[in-house]
Amino acid sequence: MSKAAQKHGGSSAPPGQDDDICPVCKSARYLNPNMRFLVNPTCYHKMCESCVDRIFSQGPAPCPVAGCGRTLRKQRFRRQTFEDLQIEREVDIRRRVSTIFNRREEEFLDLRNWNDYLENVETLTFNLLYNIEVPETEAKLAAYAAQNSDSISRNAALASAEHDSTEAAFAAQKQAARVRREESLREDEEDRQDRLREDREAQERIAQGSTAKVTLKKSTARRKDGAKGAASSGNAGPSAAPAFEIQGLKPVAAPEPTKAYDPFGGLRIRSEYFAQQRSCEHPWLDKAKNDPAIVTGGYDVREYCARAMVEAFAGMGVFVDDEVGTGGGQAAATERAAIAAGTDNRTEDVL
């Protein structure tokens, strides 16, 4: 366990209260809600901001926490990221180790070697974390860093390039999303402007009564074959009507949704090449038609016939008449196939 943790854990105050009292000046957050605590990664002793200012503004000074006495510099003090200072320290140590031991899995011959390397690194990290043989471990770390400076800098460059490319991809995604959003906003705005313009134009037409009447006459004349009704209604003064008529004409795509509904989306179920008879007569099929053991289960011999016909014609594009060479058309072939499906002597050929 680290000294910081020991100091922390050994305090007699309850944990919640202890966190809110500066161990140096003993002022409490209760009295000063704006109090901020800082830690120095040299010894991870926590103290309040005003203590740091007071003690370290004149230059490096020993840590004021009893029993520590390590020399600290003001610029290394920072706010702690994690509530638990031991975790704060572990993260720092692991970060430092990982910048030196930054080998990649693809550099190793096999998984076994890679795992051995990871275990060695973890042992070293563990020693640093729990203050076991620290001088030897630091010496090992420094020796490795000196020997492998090339690979360390190469892998660091690789890692930063990967990080950059990930960042770039992320930024590109964000940019694309922003462009899409702006595009849709712009379209909305254009739609709104269009609607406003149409409204304005309609109002102007209403205001200019004569133009409106002419338009009304023309449009009604187009609509109605009887010309006499059009002339009278134009004068009769329903001047609001033409504005709505003109607006109604503008969306050209209005008749689009009145398309007939096609549940199969254009798929043709009926066969072009044959027509199936209601029943197929053949001695083969008699048993399947009449045997209760087969029929009771719901088996329908017509499905068998239909499948046989589809298989016979599927993808072949072959017509019986063309094969024979009599020169008959597709209709004749279809007719012949229909007969074949129903008659005794041809069924075997087709099936």
Residues forming contacts to Zn ion in the complex (CB under 5 A) are 22, 24-25, 43, 45, 48, 51, 63, 65, 68
The smaller minimum CB distance to Zn ion, of residues 24 and 351, is found at 24
Question: 309, 274 in Cβ contact below 8 A?
Answer: yes
- Which residue's structure tokens are 């004068």? 235
φ and ψ at residue 147, rounded to 5 degrees:
-70, -35
**Is the Cβ of residue 28 or residue 179 nearer to Zn ion in the bound state?**
28
Give the nearer residue to Zn ion in terms of CB position, either 68 or 320.
68
Closer by beta carbon to Zn ion, 22 or else 340: 22
Kindly tell me which of 27 and 271 has the beta carbon lying closer to Zn ion.
27
- Output the smallest distance, CB 26 to Zn ion, in A: 7
Residues 36 and 48: beta-carbon distance below 8 Å: yes
Helix ranges (H only) for the chain are 3-9, 15-18, 49-56, 85-100, 111-129, 134-147, 149-207, 209-223, 227-235, 240-249, 283-290, 292-295, 301-313, 320-324, 330-342, 344-350
Q: How far is the CB of 46 from Zn ion (least distance, A)?
A: 9
- Show the CA angle centred on residue 246, arms to residues 241 and 250, nearest 5°: 145
State the number of CA atoms in the 13 A half-sphere of 4 facing the CB: 21
Measured CA to CA, the distance from residue 317 to residue 330 in angstroms comes to: 10
Closest distance of CB 94 from Zn ion, Å: 21
Minimum CB separation of residue 18 from Zn ion in Å reads 14
Shorter beta-carbon distance to Zn ion: residue 79 or 228: 79
CB of 23 to Zn ion, least distance (A): 8
User: Which residue's CB is nearer to Zn ion, number 8 or number 45?
Assistant: 45
Q: Of 5 and 308, which CB lies nearer to Zn ion in the complex structure?
A: 5
How far from 323 is each of 97, 253, 318, 327, 333, CA to CA, in Å?
82, 50, 7, 9, 10
Asked whether the beta carbons of 73 and 60 are under 8 A apart, the reply is yes
In angstroms, the CA 304 to CA 306 distance is: 5
Could you tell me the smallest distance in angstroms from the CB atom of residue 69 to Zn ion? Answer: 7
User: What's at 346, amino acid-wise?
Assistant: R
Least distance in angstroms from the C-beta of 81 to Zn ion: 19
Q: Bridge partners of 47? A: 38
Rounded CA gap, 17 and 21, in Å? Answer: 7
